[in-house]
Chain A
């Protein structure tokens, strides 16, 4: 089956630093990837849609200058949380759309803790 990886799986950083999270589709090409945020016991909240070779589309209320998204290749998208603060602590999940099956497959998630 389609596999999506995320790195790192868990990161702890100091307030004010930037953190980069990678999302890779391992065995398929993905022209579209999505980034979600999830708080405990809540459903996934879509942050942005990442299309290869173009600017990401952000959902209302998501600061594009704070959450920088780059989709440089058909298998890699990155999310950089700039000047992170404790309120940015959350579980970040990416997904990739298989062009073959047109189905969204999710990564294992990255837990970000900002001290």
Chain B
């Protein structure tokens, strides 16, 4: 079993839809949670970063963490064609040094249709 499982998609939605992207994890030592967006042939771009259970909002994006269920989500409101990309969840432990390594989900490919 992988430490981080992510719905692979692909996911296709109409413009304006609410998108829900999800990851589950098995390692209770993970305390920092991130969502990255990666356009084709580009490096990942950090979208959201959180370390506590609950919701964190930034514009059209909301990151949700439920540590008791080991489940994280990213919601995108009013989705736009420019949101079409691969979304990667990532997480790591608190410690410094090598524990700064991120464990990634496999990525969800999202297409927002105009």
Q: Chain A contact residues: over half helix, strand or loop, or mixed?
A: strand
Q: Chain B contact residues: over half helix, strand or loop, or mixed?
A: mixed
A65 to chain B, nearest CB (A): 21
Number of A-B contacts (CB under 8 A): 50
Give the docked Cα–Cα distance between A97 and B101 (Å): 10
B44 touches A44 (CB 8 A): yes
Whether a CB of chain B sits under 8 angstroms from the CB of A67 is no
Interface residues on A, range: 20 to 34
Interface residues on B, range: 20 to 34
Give the interface segment out of A13-21, A76-84, A101-109: A101-109
Give the docked Cα–Cα distance between A92 and B101 (Å): 17
B30 to chain A, nearest CB (A): 14
Whether a CB of chain B sits under 8 angstroms from the CB of A43 is yes
Give the docked Cα–Cα distance between A107 and B97 (Å): 20
